[in-house]
A and B are shown apart, each in its own frame.
Chain A
Amino acid sequence: MREQERMIWCDEVRHDLTAFAHHELMGVRRTRVARHLATCAGCDDVYRQVTLLARELHATTPLIGAETRAFGRMWQSIAAQIVHAPRPRVSAPQLATGTVALTMAIVFALVWAPQGVRMAPPTQPTAVRGADDGTPIAMIFAETDDSIATESRDQDGTATPTPSLQSNYAPTPNATEAS
């Protein structure tokens, strides 16, 4: 049982060995690994291999791709592209904000617009009612607003609708005779 616990402990420590070798382990974890290495020959051996390989990789990896003669040519290409750079595009958040703002402006304009701005439906002339129920046109016009010049008076005082209204709403007296 004790040996099994020790194996688990070694596995945990070896998991941290690379970070430990890179000085990236801090606090309790670092102390724990350091103490274990001082007492465990197996883990200490692995640690030595890790540090050796790390040293070799530090020396060798920078050599990969370290040489090129094309930097000047590549710069010409890059410079040409950044000189003729297109205008910066609108980002998605900016576009979304703009759309929301525009929509809200339209909605507010519709809801809170002054009443006068709205188009009132045209009022139906009262003469239509008169034509339907047989009420004389003159009486209908007498009931309506006097300010509207909808009638003319003969010499004997009889009111007669203006010719335009007469033609629109009242039957022409001589229509049958004309036809």
Chain B
Amino acid sequence: MMTDSHSTSTPIEPIDALITRAVAGDQGAFAALYDRLAPAVYRLCYSVLLHREDAEDVMQEAFVYAFRNLRCFDPAKSAFKTWLFTIAISRCRNQRRRFTPPLLDITEAIGAALVSPRDEQPETAYAHASARQSLEVALRRLPSRLREAVVLRYGHGLTYREIAEVMVCPQKTAESRVRLAHEALRGLLPSAQGLLEELAI
């Protein structure tokens, strides 16, 4: 969908092989890496910034930086995804510092209608949309560092060690941030609690 070069790389090609090809200058490998990781990076950026256009800008910046500096990536130090997340989180922080005034996001305003996959039942789609909206509201009220921690932990399943790498902090600090976010969300999400469980999702 994104480029013609997608057909040149098989879906099961390991990330390391793609990186090797990309470093050698293979444009198809860049496209394949983007295909593989763009959804996760976008979700991360959006979850941290909670603004669609900002998330798109930051995601582009992160990929451009990563691809231009691909030779600097050392697989012995971290996974490529972790390295990319580190770049994305850093760009998200820069974006927050620049602070653009909040704009009306139309897709947020009509959110539920756009979110659900077509094969979802209306009840399930509604439950998903409600839960997502409740969580977005709660995340907006969290301090940014706690929001980053909870998104990395629950949105992407990173371990505490990986969270520490991405957030550039000690592992103990990552643990504390997840715990504090957890405690804050327990207070902020009373209405959503148990909703998904009742619907057996």
Query: B2, B60, B136, B201: which contacts A64 (Cβ < 8 A)?
Result: B136
- B193→A74 contact, CB < 8 A: no
Interface SS of B by simple majority: helix
CB contacts (< 8 Å) of B194 on chain A: these are 52, 56
Interface SS of A by simple majority: helix
Q: Is A106 an interface residue (CB 8 A)?
A: no
Residue total for A at the interface (Cβ-Cβ under 8 A): 38
Query: A59, A74, A77, A82: which contacts B67 (Cβ < 8 A)?
Result: A82
Given contacts A54-B154, A82-B30, contact A66 B201 (CB under 8 A): no
Q: Is A122 an interface residue (CB 8 A)?
A: no
- A66→B115 contact, CB < 8 A: yes
Q: Is B85 an interface residue (CB 8 A)?
A: no
| A binding-site residues for B, Cβ under 8 Å | 15, 17-19, 22, 24, 49-50, 52-68, 70-72, 74-75, 77-79, 81-83, 85, 88
Q: Mark B54-96, 1 if CB is under 8 A from A, else 0.
A: 0110011001100110010000000000000000000000000
CB contacts (< 8 Å) of B193 on chain A: these are 52-53, 56
Given contacts A60-B132, A61-B150, A82-B30, contact A49 B186 (CB under 8 A): yes
Given contacts A68-B42, A75-B38, contact A61 B1 (CB under 8 A): no
Query: B60, B63, B131, B175: which contacts A56 (Cβ < 8 A)?
Result: B131
